[in-house]
């Protein structure tokens, strides 16, 4: 007779304890309540922002004292923490979401992009490999292909999302160095017969200096080419620099033209730069971090003619495409070079697909699902919607130009994009003092910039919710600041 097996007692299924009671992983009912609270509070804060000052109003000394009370010994209710944090943000930042923020190229983000951040945060996909996040990787690749086609690149073009323009430009430099000397991947700058050098306009974004340092070729590798008096890279100076470097034993590697300079929105001669790069067998990159959004407009697209001849392009989604920070894009017509540049193999990764897995085709390894921001925004608006967004910005910039010109102010740049470099009428106030008074008023945000060696007032009109009334308010604020400065100087 067979022996009876002892019955195994059934263990009572218990939910494992969540971290810190339930504060880190609250139950669904609490999450819904807190999520609703967050949505309501953010909407109310956004409504208040439009009526309040653009500049910070929080006293930093008092804030630091308040912040010091967070010693993290005892937990605090999350609903109170959410309200506290929103209040600090509301009163402690320059508000890029304000309709009278005429500042840098980081406008108010689109609502679809904000939704994307919430979705990505909830699912938290790891975009290192296509094996772990196949849908997310495919969405990003689909968007990159769409941007590449709109730029004028061939069907085989590829790329990836980045943390911003600096990472994208860094990627371009690494690809250029790898193409110039395949041994660069193993030996670095020692693989070259002479010091490698790259060429950018002196009006370019000087992140190139840090990028050259980071790539190991040294800051002195960056040649800041003279401009033509209008903020664009001068072709004669560029030719002379290349010839001079070759005679001096250096190795020219890349020309990086700018499509939308930071200070003045100027566009380098893209077609001529492409010709020079081709005749000298150099990698041709276009840094269109800001101006690249013009590809969305059928009417304005011709101002970027020549960009389609580039070997690679940088476009920031968080600039004129108005996604949340930070969200850049790198695109190249040579996808095989991405794999040659970044390929690595390790046993702990679930796959190693060249051309597919982001971690073997980009600088980053673990990273957030950035591309969803651009996907949802582009899908919701379509190219026509984004084209209208860009064209509206340019129209408002033209309005600002006309209003100031009628009053005797000088517009010193001639950008086809939505940024103006402005000087007050002769005999009036100093540029820096005027800007300081505008910022102190809290009614608008503008900046001091340098254009062709001269201080100017810089106003960028890319905030998607700016109205003609906001433009007129900026005009009145500038004039009032100018008059106040002049009166104070005479007194």
- Over residues 450-469, mean pLDDT: 94
Q: Is residue 72 part of a domain?
A: no
Judged by average pLDDT, the poorest of 81-90, 124-133, 157-166, 255-264 is: 124-133
- Three-state DSSP at 461 gives coil
Is pTM beyond 0.85? Reply is yes
Is 17 a residue whose pLDDT tops 80?
Answer: no
Residues 6+ apart with CB under 8 A from 306: 269, 270, 271, 272, 273, 274
Task: Give the pLDDT confidence of 220-242 residue by residue, as tens digits.
Answer: 999 999 999 999 999 999 999 99
Task: Give the pLDDT confidence of 282-291 residue by residue, as tens digits.
Answer: 999 999 999 9
Range of the domain at 339: 116-378
Looking at residue 104, what is its pLDDT? 85
Q: Is residue 155 part of a domain?
A: yes
pLDDT band for 261, please (50, 70, 90 cuts).
Answer: very high
Q: Is residue 307 part of a domain?
A: yes
Looking at residue 16, what is its pLDDT? 54
- For the chain, give percent helix, strand, coil, nearest 5: 45, 15, 40
Judged by average pLDDT, the poorest of 110-119, 362-371, 482-491 is: 482-491
Looking at residue 122, what is its pLDDT? 94
Q: Is residue 346 part of a domain?
A: yes
Q: Is residue 79 part of a domain?
A: no
Is 474 a residue whose pLDDT tops 70?
Answer: yes
Phi, psi of 324 (to 5 degrees): -70, 160
Give yes or no for a contact between 150 and 383, defined as CB atoms under 8 angstroms apart: yes
Looking at residue 483, what is its pLDDT? 66
Looking at residue 182, what is its pLDDT? 86
- Over residues 121-144, mean pLDDT: 93
Is 275 a residue whose pLDDT tops 50?
Answer: yes
Q: Is residue 216 part of a domain?
A: yes
CATH number of the domain that 185 lies in? 3.40.640.10
Looking at residue 433, what is its pLDDT? 93
pLDDT band for 40, please (50, 70, 90 cuts).
Answer: very high
Task: Give the pLDDT confidence of 185-216 residue by residue, as tens digits.
Answer: 999 999 999 999 999 999 999 999 999 999 99
| Higher-pLDDT residue of 487, 261 | 261
CA distances from 169 to 79, 160, 333, 383 (A): 41, 12, 15, 25
What is the distance, to the nearest Å, from the Cα of residue 408 to the centroid of all Cα atoms in its chain? 34
Packing angle of the helix pair 78-91, 28-51 (nearest 10 deg): 20
Q: Which residues pair with 197 in a beta bridge?
A: 252
Q: Is residue 97 part of a domain?
A: no
pLDDT band for 1, please (50, 70, 90 cuts).
Answer: very low
> Exposure of 148 by Cβ count < 10 A (0-12 exposed, 13-18 middle, 19+ buried)?
buried
Task: Give the pLDDT confidence of 346-361 residue by residue, as tens digits.
Answer: 877 787 777 788 888 8
Q: Is residue 210 part of a domain?
A: yes
CA distances from 23 to 29, 69, 73, 431 (A): 13, 20, 14, 51
CA distances from 131 to 316, 349, 359, 478 (A): 27, 9, 12, 55
Looking at residue 357, what is its pLDDT? 87
Is 11 a residue whose pLDDT tops 50?
Answer: no
> What does pLDDT average to over the chain?
92
Residues 6+ apart with CB under 8 A from 131: 350, 351, 357
How many separate domains does the chain show?
1
Round to whole Å and give the CA distance between 171 and 194.
22
């Amino acid at each position: 007779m067979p022996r009876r097996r002892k019955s195994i007692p059934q263990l009572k299924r218990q939910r494992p304890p969540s971290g810190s009671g339930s504060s880190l992983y609250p139950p669904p009912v609490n999450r819904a309540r807190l999520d609703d609270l967050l949505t309501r509070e953010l909407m109310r804060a956004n409504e208040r922002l439009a009526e309040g000052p653009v500049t910070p109003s929080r006293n930093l000394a008092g804030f630091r004292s308040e912040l010091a009370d967070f010693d993290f010994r005892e937990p605090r209710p999350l609903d109170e923490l959410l309200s506290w944090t929103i209040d600090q943000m509301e009163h402690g930042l320059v508000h890029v979401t304000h309709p009278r923020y005429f500042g840098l190229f980081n406008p108010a983000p689109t609502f679809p992009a904000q939704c994307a951040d919430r979705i990505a945060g909830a699912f938290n996909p790891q975009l290192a490999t296509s094996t772990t996040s196949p849908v997310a990787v495919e969405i990003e690749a689909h968007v990159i292909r769409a941007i590449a086609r709109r730029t004028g690149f061939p069907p085989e073009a590829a790329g990836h999302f980045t943390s911003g323009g600096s990472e994208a430009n860094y990627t371009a430099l690494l690809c250029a160095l790898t193409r110039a000397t395949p041994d660069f991947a193993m030996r670095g700058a020692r693989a070259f017969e002479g010091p490698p050098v790259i060429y950018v306009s002196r009006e370019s974004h000087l992140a190139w200096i840090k990028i050259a340092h980071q790539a190991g070729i040294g800051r002195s590798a960056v040649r800041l080419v003279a401009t033509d008096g209008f903020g664009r890279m001068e072709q004669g100076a560029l030719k002379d620099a290349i010839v001079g470097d070759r005679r001096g034993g250096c190795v020219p590697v890349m020309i990086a033209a700018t499509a939308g300079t930071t200070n003045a929105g100027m566009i380098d001669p893209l077609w001529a730069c492409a010709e020079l790069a081709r005749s000298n067998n150099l990698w041709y990159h276009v840094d269109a971090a800001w101006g690249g959004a013009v590809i969305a407009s059928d009417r304005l697209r011709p101002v970027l003619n020549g960009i389609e001849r580039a070997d690679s392009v940088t476009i920031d989604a968080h600039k004129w495409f108005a996604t949340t920070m930070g969200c850049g894009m790198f695109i190249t017509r040579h996808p095989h070079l991405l794999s040659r540049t970044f390929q690595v193999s390790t046993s702990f990764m679930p796959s190693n697909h060249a051309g597919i897995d982001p971690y073997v085709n980009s600088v980053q390894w673990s990273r957030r699902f950035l591309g969803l921001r651009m996907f949802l925004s582009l899908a919701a608006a379509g190219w026509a919607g984004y084209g209208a967004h860009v064209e509206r910005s340019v129209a408002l910039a033209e309005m600002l130009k006309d209003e100031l010109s009628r009053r005797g102010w000088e517009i010193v740049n001639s950008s086809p994009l939505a940024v103006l470099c402005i000087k007050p009428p002769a005999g009036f106030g100093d540029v820096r003092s005027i800007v300081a008074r505008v910022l102190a008023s809290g009614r608008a945000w503008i900046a001091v910039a340098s254009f062709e060696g001269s201080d100017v007032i810089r106003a960028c009109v890319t905030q998607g919710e700016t109205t003609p009334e906001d433009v007129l308010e900026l005009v009145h604020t500038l004039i009032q600041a100018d008059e106040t400065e002049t009166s104070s100087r005479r007194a």
